[in-house]
Amino acid sequence: MYFNKAIIIGNLTKDPEMRSMPSGAKVVTLGVATDRVWKDKTGNKQQATEYHNVVVFGKQAETSAQYLKKGQTVLVEGRIQTRSWDGADGVKKYKTEIVADRVQFGPKNSSGGFGGSPHSSTASSIKGGSGPGEAESDQIEYPSEEINPEDIPF
């Protein structure tokens, strides 16, 4: 069995760019940034940002172009695809992108997080903030023990 599924939640790095294909169908390209935060072995907080290219087709493309703006939070669900072509200099070029099956918009304002009220724990954890009674995200207690791959049951 084969499985190709990508789900990301991040912020748009630029406004969506809409084009039309020769058939007249609309296509939108999005740039989405996701962050990963962890503590290294010495306990120092580390952060890495990944940038994803997203392609949206059809009615979802038109809606995305109309309502999404740079900096907004978005959930993208789709499949990963790599395209290749010969560049003008004769060198083969590659681009890996997520072809979206579903695009879900986050809030337009800065209060609150993705898909919920400003006080929900899911919303604040995705935005990196804290709701009432929650600890700040950089105060999370991570397990100090090493994970042994042989302990994983699958």
Residue whose C-alpha is closest to residue 38's, from 138, 130, 152, 145:
138
Say which residues have a Cβ less than 8 Å from residue 46's Cβ, sequence separation at least 6: 37, 38, 39, 40
CATH assignment of 6-133, given 2.40.50.140, 2.60.40.10, 2.40.128.50, 3.40.50.12280? 2.40.50.140
CB atoms within 10 A of CB 75: 18
Domain boundaries, the chain: 6-133
Say which residues have a Cβ less than 8 Å from residue 84's Cβ, sequence separation at least 6: 92, 93, 94, 95
Alpha-carbon Rg for the chain in angstroms: 19
| Structure tokens given for 143 | 């397990």
Q: What is the pLDDT of residue 120?
A: 36
**Of the ranges 14-18, 97-101, 118-122, 146-150, which one carries the lowest mean pLDDT score?**
118-122
pTM confidence score: 0.67
| Structure tokens given for 52 | 């994803």
Q: For 23-78, write each residue's pLDDT tens digit.
A: 989 999 999 999 999 999 998 999 999 999 999 999 999 999 999 999 999 999 99
